[in-house]
Amino acid sequence: MDFSIRAANVDDCKDVARMNLELAEYEKTSEQVTITQRDLEQDGFSKNPFFHCVIAEVPQQHKSKDGHTKIGFALYFYSYSAWRGRAVYMEDLYVMPEFRGKGVGKALMSKVAQLALTRRVDALQLGLAAGCTQLNFTVLHTNRSSVDFYLRRGCSDVTSEMGYHFMSCGGDAMRQLAQP
């Protein structure tokens, strides 16, 4: 199948928002989605972006049954490990169901890994975290096909291997925590 992977731009936010909702529906968590297209535009394409994104796109002749040419995305941001240094966190990897099994997900993940490993002076001057030592992400334990997909690519499950739990604090709990 003919497809390309490229850096997202602000005009892609409508499709990223659409696919983000499709992903949430697939994971049966759509009621938790509060991000809008405008949020994505502001948070990903401002002077100091909170995230970066790559898009999988097919030519018009291979568009989806619903007429979409943007068929997948990987949203990521740079972080830091106190033990291993620079890292990249892949927040989401999504490929529309009708395009799965064709190498799109692997290509998206590969692109994020390439960007994370790149040691370019211009990237460092722009404040981008090149030279990362690890790619981190989470996956629902119930999403066995995705777990298997990642394991086939050499990823490891640190929850079972090291016993770490991913924790989160938001909403009222975060506001309470912020009180002195």
The predicted-structure confidence for 29-80, as pLDDT tens digits, reads as follows 999 999 999 999 999 999 999 999 999 999 999 999 999 999 999 999 999 8
Does the annotation count 94 as an active-site position? no
Q: What is the pLDDT of residue 121?
A: 43
pLDDT, greater one: 116 or 64: 64
Residue 144 is classified by DSSP as H
Residue 122 has pLDDT above 80, yes or no: no
- Looking at 80, 89, 150, 164, which residue is catalytic? 150
* CA atoms of 16 and 72, how far apart (whole Å): 8
Q: What is the pLDDT of residue 128?
A: 53
128: amino acid identity, one letter: L
Residue 169 has pLDDT above 90, yes or no: no
- Percent of the chain predicted with pLDDT > 90: 71
**What pTM does this model have?**
0.88
* CA atoms of 136 and 158, how far apart (whole Å): 10
* CA atoms of 79 and 86, how far apart (whole Å): 6
Write down the domain spans for the chain.
4-137
Instruction: Give burial (CB, 10 Å; 0-12/13-18/19+) of 132.
Output: buried
* CA atoms of 6 and 4, how far apart (whole Å): 7
Residue 89's SS3 state is strand
* CA atoms of 68 and 77, how far apart (whole Å): 26
Residue 12 has pLDDT above 90, yes or no: yes
The answer to whether 134 and 84 have CB atoms below 8 angstroms apart is yes
* CA atoms of 57 and 59, how far apart (whole Å): 7
Architecture of domain 4-137: 3-Layer(aba) Sandwich (3.40)
